[in-house]
Structure 1
Amino acid sequence: MEMTLRPIGATGLQVTPICVGTSPLSNMPGLYGYEVAAEAATATITKALDGPINFLDTSNNYGAGRAETLIGEVLRRRGGVPSGFVLATKVDADAATGEFDGERVRRSVEESLSRLGVDHVELMYLHDPEAHLTFDQAMADDGPVAALAELRDQGILGHVGVAMGELDMLGQFVRTGVFEVALNHNRYTLLDRGAESLIEEACERGIAFVNAAPYGGGILAKGPEAQPKYAYRQASDAVLQAVRGMQEVCSRHDVPLQAAALQFSLRDPRIASTVVGVSDPSRIDETLAFASADIPEDVWSELASLAPTANLWGAVV
């Protein structure tokens, strides 16, 4: 697959259809089941910056700031963010107190800028507000959304987005007119089409949709025997059965399941970019190979027939 640039909504930014996700580089074995050494992480970041992908996603709280710190080390060695490269990060609630008001947003941005060694970030997301706030609290005059908008007006942030898993609240944020990008994870995959209506609404409003976790946290990459969780939770019997069926279809057509899971997102023109978490440099090459794999058209109809029904989509996460 050619890395033809796609617009991120009305931001003016152009990005590759694949975005390198750095959550695995933050060394969270409790979440991912493996550790990532600092040397491997910096080598992965370096390879990501060398292209052909021009979009990298991180967050203030990935590994208590470890991911941003390692990215910053590489950027300093290279003299800053490469021209044409889009670096996105996220504001997070205070890890100790759960505080997520406007003041916390300003501190989170300061922390990220310091770790990354930059004075400006092109794209900053509000991250997982549903874990700490109601929608009304998020939209209060002294809340996180107002603070993000103010920092954008000041030029410290280029553009603002919202990144979260819960669809109903994400839809509320999309309708505010404040956000330019909506990022959702695990709700538009081979297994779960729950984000379908939200994608449509975002596109109608000129808001970019970024799709994260096309492998559902690993089950669509490693298979249900190696990774029986979907979206970091134990998968239901219906999901496990669906993945086994999808494995059989892909095996019969000599198609890697990972390629089908990734291309399900990449082939949708409504999706500006798909975030794929990587844990070492070889995973970037592997991801590019999966993106380019030849998949017969018949495979897509077979896979669609195996997906859990719509009434189960909300139950898989």
Structure 2
Amino acid sequence: MSLPVHPLGSTGLEVTALCMGTSPLASMPQLYGYDVSDERAVATIDAVLDSDIRFIDTSNGYGEHGEAEKRIGLALAAHVGLPGDFVLATKVDPDPVTGDFSGDRVLASYEESLQRLGLDRVPLLYLHDPERIPFEDGVAPGGPVEALVRLREEGRVDHIGVAGGPVGLLERYLATGAFEVVLSHNRYTLLDRSAEAMFVAARERGIGVVNAAPYGGGMLAKGPDVQAKYGYGERDDHVAEAARAMADVCASHGVPLAAAALQFSLRASFVDATVVGVSSPERVAQTIEYAGLPIPDALWAELDALVPSPEYWLG
């Protein structure tokens, strides 16, 4: 299928509705339960470069010693660089040994990413998981937000965003006026609507909206009997029960649960792009197939009736 292309807020960037997430390619078995070899990772990136997807999301902190970025760099080198119609976003992370997340660390993180990726610059750079430091430290003089703004002012990146989990904290960072894009994960899915109001408000302000992890870390792709965790952690049984009921409703319509979970995000008018982590070339093809699979309108109302109470959302 031909993927829709959307403007990313007011940045001027054009992105495909599907974005390839590269966290699984870093080979983090403690998080995902499986290893990914260099060869498989590069083949997966090759499959994305050869597909209709034109948006890749990665991070300095994906894998030990930045494995995800290194593997992207290997693939890009074989393709003689990043295709001109591609948007590649990465994220700055704390020092993996000391935990330092100062402004100086932001600058160092970005330089490490460029070296691994084999690029001179990226168009979009995120502050990654700022919940790891107090908000006051994040916005303090000499802190990470100031450093990101400086990178943009100096023309070393085109646009900056904030990417993380807790909605309330992301809203505080957006309120600073520094950020042009917001990314939240696991908080706008069939099972959890925590980020919806924030996404809508951001869209109204011209901030780009990127929704990551529409499968909730695997529960909505593999089913709760295979993946018992939601959002990479143990959750109340109500969440798994709702996922199981949703899978049954989808099956009654002949629709894979994963396809409904993906299209739930893709059909949201306030979401510019949806990040899906993939770990094999076959998953790239399957994700594109699920994005275009016909889904009857009646199914959405049935799924909405099964959403767990907000008390079970990540928030």
TM range, smaller chain:
over 0.9
Q: Which amino acid is 1:241 matched to?
A: E
Residues of 2 paired with 1:250 and 1:31: CA distance?
27
Residues of 2 paired with 1:211 and 1:139: CA distance?
24
Is the CA contact (8 Å cut-off) linking 1:120 and 1:155 kept in structure 2? no
- Quote the residue 1:97 is aligned against: 98
Q: Deviations over 1:204-224 (max 9, x none)?
A: 211011000000000000011
1:51 to partner: Cα distance: 2.3
1:89 to partner: Cα distance: 0.4
Q: Which amino acid is 2:159 matched to?
A: H
Residues of 1 paired with 2:73 and 2:178: CA distance?
28
Is the CA contact (8 Å cut-off) linking 2:209 and 2:273 kept in structure 1? yes
Residue identity over aligned pairs, in percent, reads: 54
- Quote the residue 2:168 is aligned against: 168
Residues of 2 paired with 1:204 and 1:296: CA distance?
29
1:195 to partner: Cα distance: 0.7
- Quote the residue 1:130 is aligned against: 131
- Quote the residue 2:232 is aligned against: 232
Residues of 2 paired with 1:32 and 1:188: CA distance?
20
1:16 aligns with 2:16: yes
Q: Which amino acid is 1:252 matched to?
A: S
1:314 to partner: Cα distance: 3.5
Q: Provide the secondary structure at the position in 1 that maps to 2:305.
A: helix
Residues of 2 paired with 1:312 and 1:61: CA distance?
28
1:50 to partner: Cα distance: 1.6
Q: Deviations over 1:150-178 (max 9, x none)?
A: 01111111110000001111001111111
- Quote the residue 2:52 is aligned against: 52
Residues of 1 paired with 2:56 and 2:310: CA distance?
32
Residues of 2 paired with 1:37 and 1:80: CA distance?
22
Is the CA contact (8 Å cut-off) linking 2:2 and 2:52 kept in structure 1? no
- Quote the residue 1:155 is aligned against: 155
1:180 to partner: Cα distance: 0.5
Residues of 2 paired with 1:51 and 1:61: CA distance?
26
Number of positions where the alignment pairs a residue of Structure 1 with one of Structure 2: 314
Residues of 1 paired with 2:220 and 2:184: CA distance?
17
- Quote the residue 1:41 is aligned against: 41
Is the CA contact (8 Å cut-off) linking 1:16 and 1:53 kept in structure 2? yes
- Quote the residue 2:306 is aligned against: 306
Q: Deviations over 1:107-132 (max 9, x none)?
A: 0001001001111110110000111x
Residues of 2 paired with 1:267 and 1:250: CA distance?
17
- Quote the residue 1:66 is aligned against: 67
Runs of 5+ in structure 1 lacking a partner? none
Q: Which amino acid is 2:13 matched to?
A: L
Q: Provide the secondary structure at the position in 2 that maps to 1:306.
A: coil
1:96 to partner: Cα distance: 0.8
Q: Provide the secondary structure at the position in 1 that maps to 2:299.
A: helix
Q: Deviations over 1:10-60 (max 9, x none)?
A: 110001000000000000001000111110000001111122000000000
1:288 to partner: Cα distance: 0.7
Moved more, 197-206 or 186-195: 197-206
Residues of 2 paired with 1:81 and 1:260: CA distance?
31
Residues of 1 paired with 2:269 and 2:170: CA distance?
21
- Quote the residue 2:292 is aligned against: 292
TM-score normalised according to structure 2 size: 0.98
Is the CA contact (8 Å cut-off) linking 1:102 and 1:142 kept in structure 2? yes
